[in-house]
Structure 1
Amino acid sequence: MTGLAITQPLHRAARETPDRIATVDGTRQRTWREIASRCRRVAAVLTDLGVVPGDRVALLAPNGDLFVDFLFGSLWAGAVACPVNTRWTAGEIAYALADCGANLLIVDPGFRSMLGDIRREAPGLREVVMAGPVFEQLIAAADEPDEHLRHGDDLAMILFTGGTTGRSKGVMLSHRALMAYALCLAGAGDAAPGECMLHTAPLFHVGAISGFLACLLGGGRHVFAPAFDAEAVMAVIAGQQVTDLFLVPTMLQAVLDHPRFGEHDLTSARRIYYGAAPMPPALMDRAIAAMPRVGFVQGYGMTETAGSISLLKPADHRDPARLRSAGRAVMAIEARIVDADDREVPVGEIGEIVARGEAVMTGYWNRPEETAEALRGGWMHTGDVGRMDADGYIHVVDRLKDMIITGGENVYSVEVEAVLANHPGVSQCAVVGRPDSRWGERVHAVVVLKPGLETSADDIVAYSRSVLASYKCPRSIEFRTEMPLSAAGKIVKAELRADFPA
């Protein structure tokens, strides 16, 4: 028994359904036989370039079949795959490459202009491989070697945290961790991916890569969107008969707000997975009403847990008592709520959400102290505040760092945002703490209005006062035309806070 390996489902698909369409990238389609052959040949090329088992191979590419070649080719060669954020600057990319000690970088031609800066700032980078005609010639001429099998607790991937609150950290995920979560999702009944998954979220994001692996386990077809565009997504769903897709809340809102939403046939869609950022209740209610045939699946988790800690399945979305929760822990994870001394709190009480199990990271690359702090007592400390009900459903209240303490009272930004999102003129909102000489912090709301609608700060504050206690209501409102978003679609609150001094 060799233990779990990410390449196992590729072996299985190539053996059992070799002629089934595996990937659709624009007008190009490839079968599992073709994908497996290309991955072996990519591994041969990497080996010829000096890659040995355990080396870190970085990937800089948008969603597409080349990403699949690079990912499985690296793993086939026994390397550790390190996909980097395609929205980072050259300096941010170079920092990540230097931090993880990447030996080789595989680059999509669209990022050619960044290479000079990356190489200057990451001097340890030995080789750069540019996808394109020359690389294709090398692949065509290569043999198909046996796999340098790595499995179980061997390191498979380093995924980088968003870096929105400081330097990005490299999260070490083993073959066992990634496959444990993929198996949980693939076996999750009505929440399991089906026949065809559209990959809209970037594949360097843990939610996207874990969904890809789960769909691969079921033999599903993969359709790639290199970047998110609401109308293009709807057209692809209709044209490719997509059954499953992952949308962060900002993406889901863009689809629902699109003026041509009702013109596309979306009846093939069976499941929409969402996560990565809090879902405003009003948006969730609207989505359920607009797409009654779709089963919604919420995944609550983080990079450090190789996917979701918990899932809120389609059936749970039909239960008002459970709809506002984040669901129950997946099979590979045990979750609990603890106090400041890491003691489990009684059912219903608020504390920090912690998790342990097969899907939890090995640690942060080259950060032993931060690893020890995050995994103290054997539990991954999420930094999220929440509670658990008597049926085991987790209710996320806020991020610890996003909690605002004003006049000695705790204000959870997610609660305030949920109220503001119900205002008829509000399209997007974010709530942060702003320094205040009297109260320590005050509640500050950043708001994007719906197109063509106008409202005043006083109106929004008055609306919040009709629902919330006065100390929770915004004391200041800032209007913007757009929010700063991470590549995963999260509102980057660190940028909002950076606009005013401590």
Structure 2
Amino acid sequence: MTDNAPAWYVSSAIEALAAHRDKVALSHRGHDLTYSELLAQVYRTARALSRFGLRRGDGLVLVTGNRPEAFVIRFAAFLLGLRFTPLVPGLADLPYVASDSGAAALICEAPGDLDVALVLTLDEVTAAARTESSEPVPVAAREQDIARVLYTSGTTGLPKGVPSSYAALGASTRSWGSGTSTMPEGMRFLLVTPFAHGSGDAALNMLRFGVAVEIFDGFDRAEFVAAVERSPMAMTFLYPSWLYRLLDHADADLSTLRSLSYGSSPIAPARLRQALDRFGARLVQTYASTEAAAIAMLGAADHAAALDARPELLASVGKPLPGVAVELRAEDGGPVPVGEIGEVCVKGDSVMSGYWNRPELTAAVLRGGWLHTGDLGRFDADGYLYLVGRIKDIIIVNGYNHYAGPIEDALSSHPAVREAVVVGAPDDRTGEAIHAFVVAPDTDAEQLRAWVRTRLIAEAVPASITFLDAIPTSPQGKPDKKALRAQARSATS
């Protein structure tokens, strides 16, 4: 493949859309769009965006919920070789992201006062596209062009832009799709997490296989269950907290749910065991980050092994994906032996080349060609990776390091605990203290502390426990530890 060849990530997707023709591609609120209709809308929209003045290399920000137009505009942007940034509506940092990304245009559901040269509404773009031809548009994108700039959640400061080239998106697509050549006829992908996040990529990849993507405005348990029950075969991606909500309501018939992927935040092994008992070996765990779109996977066969001979795999995120190298490094940068804890470092074509306009941060996390993720983990003798927390989540009590992950797992193994999150809180006597937030309506703090004491060393027992009706989450579905740390600090001040 020459440097001037069209980007495979885009050209192969366009070829797939054309091949599936009259199959249903997208379904939203009872309205279906075939593959041929989707491709025609992509070509029309690409021409409309060109008429608005957008050219290869320009930045485009799209702010919208889960709608078919989001698929169309993303495909059209990639076709033109634009630098695409998808955002969820209501983001407080939108003005900053719009400015930092250097976007030439922003498309949103309702216009606002933003520092962008061209602001368009979805309706304006859709109306303009209707007047354009649906004849094919050549792929302008090239492999080394920047395909998109995603922004981190900003839990440790302002959001950071993470650029990915079209070559990098192609590499992550091949890593996740390795070993998959076809999908069963009639398979339906239920998109309930935000399209602007990782499941949007998964949904786009499903279209490569001729799968129908049913789009939901969000996760409503009853609506989701109804969609599964009416589908001959279904697959989906859920955040662990949403999977817990399914487990807490055992009345649903989910027998047609053939594959349930989960990720974005750690899952409690005890809750995963419940999911395996409920769904069988139809589960797939994904481990990735904004900076590294493909790291590891715990596949269905691994879940089956966890049900039988290897229950310890319930705490694993799986093995590195094809084309991805993962090493664990000590503080001095050297590798750690098997079984010992180190920082997860990743290398591969799908890893970011650096933060957008942040050379100092780039130098801090990209060293010697390796991305230092900030995650802490250990490998077992068979090459399975186990995460124990993040470097910033280490709680130092009397000079001794405690990792949040094992404490959260111990709490979550209690039958009454639905979810648990552990953070550090300031303590005048010990420097920091372990503070736990739990969703557990039928127990008390002393019972939980006694439970943890039988499973971990005494120093790892939470000094204090706060009971919540629900754990707050970020837009990415992760427990909002920033908010919980603030609550823990206020409780101890």
Name the amino acid aligned to 1:107.
Answer: C
> 2-side partners of 1:405 and 1:385: how far apart?
15
Check whether the contact 2:18–2:39 (CA below 8 A) recurs between aligned residues: no
Q: Does 1:200 align with 2:192?
A: yes
Instruction: Provide the residue aligned with 2:96 in structure 1.
Output: 95
Mapping of residues 274-353 of structure 1, within 5 Å? 274-292=262-280, 294-306=281-293, 308-319=294-305, 320=310, 321-353=312-344
Name the amino acid aligned to 1:408.
Answer: G
Check whether the contact 1:63–1:226 (CA below 8 A) recurs between aligned residues: yes
Q: Does 1:140 align with 2:130?
A: yes
Equivalent residue in structure 2 for 1:250, among 230, 238, 241: 241
Q: Does 1:50 align with 2:53?
A: yes
Check whether the contact 1:178–1:210 (CA below 8 A) recurs between aligned residues: no
Unaligned 5+ runs, structure 1:
none
Instruction: Provide the residue aligned with 1:12 in structure 2.
Output: 15
Check whether the contact 2:10–2:139 (CA below 8 A) recurs between aligned residues: no
Instruction: Provide the residue aligned with 2:400 in structure 1.
Output: 409
Instruction: Provide the residue aligned with 1:161 in structure 2.
Output: 152
Instruction: Provide the residue aligned with 2:451 in structure 1.
Output: 463
> 1-side partners of 2:183 and 2:347: how far apart?
22
Name the amino acid aligned to 2:298.
Answer: L
Q: C-alpha offsets along residues 261-315 of structure 1, whole Å, 9 cap, x if unaligned?
A: 4343x222211111111100111000010112x5211111101112x30011111
Instruction: Provide the residue aligned with 1:177 in structure 2.
Output: 168
**CA shift for structure 1 position 435:** 0.8
Q: C-alpha offsets along residues 432-478 of structure 1, whole Å, 9 cap, x if unaligned?
A: 0111112111100112224xx3x322222122212221100000111
How big is the alpha-carbon RMSD for the aligned residues of Structure 1 and Structure 2? 2.0
**CA shift for structure 1 position 85:** 2.8
When residues 3 and 399 of structure 1 are mapped into structure 2, their CA distance, relative to the original with a 3 A threshold, is: farther
> 2-side partners of 1:446 and 1:263: how far apart?
29
**CA shift for structure 1 position 341:** 2.0
Q: C-alpha offsets along residues 228-271 of structure 1, whole Å, 9 cap, x if unaligned?
A: 1111111112223342110111010111113xx4343x222211
Name the amino acid aligned to 1:295.
Answer: R
SS of the residue corresponding to residue 343 of structure 2 reads: strand
When residues 192 and 421 of structure 1 are mapped into structure 2, their CA distance, relative to the original with a 3 A threshold, is: farther
**CA shift for structure 1 position 87:** 4.3
**CA shift for structure 1 position 401:** 0.7
Name the amino acid aligned to 2:197.
Answer: H
> 1-side partners of 2:55 and 2:6: how far apart?
21
Check whether the contact 2:439–2:471 (CA below 8 A) recurs between aligned residues: yes
SS of the residue corresponding to residue 363 of structure 1 reads: coil
Equivalent residue in structure 1 for 2:251, among 247, 254, 262: 262
> 1-side partners of 2:203 and 2:75: how far apart?
12
> 2-side partners of 1:9 and 1:27: how far apart?
29
Check whether the contact 1:193–1:214 (CA below 8 A) recurs between aligned residues: no
SS of the residue corresponding to residue 426 of structure 1 reads: coil
SS of the residue corresponding to residue 9 of structure 2 reads: coil
Check whether the contact 2:17–2:207 (CA below 8 A) recurs between aligned residues: no
SS of the residue corresponding to residue 418 of structure 2 reads: strand
Unaligned 5+ runs, structure 2:
none
> 2-side partners of 1:213 and 1:263: how far apart?
28
> 2-side partners of 1:419 and 1:329: how far apart?
26
> 2-side partners of 1:372 and 1:4: how far apart?
28
What is the aligned residue count?
Answer: 480
**CA shift for structure 1 position 3:** 6.1
**CA shift for structure 1 position 336:** 0.7
Check whether the contact 1:178–1:359 (CA below 8 A) recurs between aligned residues: yes
**CA shift for structure 1 position 63:** 1.5
Check whether the contact 1:420–1:429 (CA below 8 A) recurs between aligned residues: yes
Mapping of residues 474-489 of structure 1, within 5 Å? 474-489=462-477
SS of the residue corresponding to residue 177 of structure 1 reads: helix
Q: C-alpha offsets along residues 99-155 of structure 1, whole Å, 9 cap, x if unaligned?
A: 1011211113xxx2xx33xx2xx32x12222123x5433111013462352132211
> 1-side partners of 2:140 and 2:180: how far apart?
31
Check whether the contact 1:334–1:356 (CA below 8 A) recurs between aligned residues: yes
SS of the residue corresponding to residue 471 of structure 2 reads: coil
**CA shift for structure 1 position 4:** 4.0
> 1-side partners of 2:252 and 2:383: how far apart?
40
Calculate percent identity across the aligned residue pairs.
Answer: 33
Check whether the contact 2:17–2:36 (CA below 8 A) recurs between aligned residues: yes
Name the amino acid aligned to 1:7.
Answer: V
TM-score (norm: length of structure 2): 0.93
SS of the residue corresponding to residue 260 of structure 2 reads: strand
> 1-side partners of 2:335 and 2:90: how far apart?
39
SS of the residue corresponding to residue 150 of structure 1 reads: coil
Name the amino acid aligned to 1:314.
Answer: A
Name the amino acid aligned to 2:196.
Answer: F
Equivalent residue in structure 2 for 1:445, among 423, 436, 445: 436
> 1-side partners of 2:8 and 2:247: how far apart?
39
> 2-side partners of 1:362 and 1:490: how far apart?
25
SS of the residue corresponding to residue 346 of structure 2 reads: strand
Check whether the contact 1:23–1:65 (CA below 8 A) recurs between aligned residues: yes
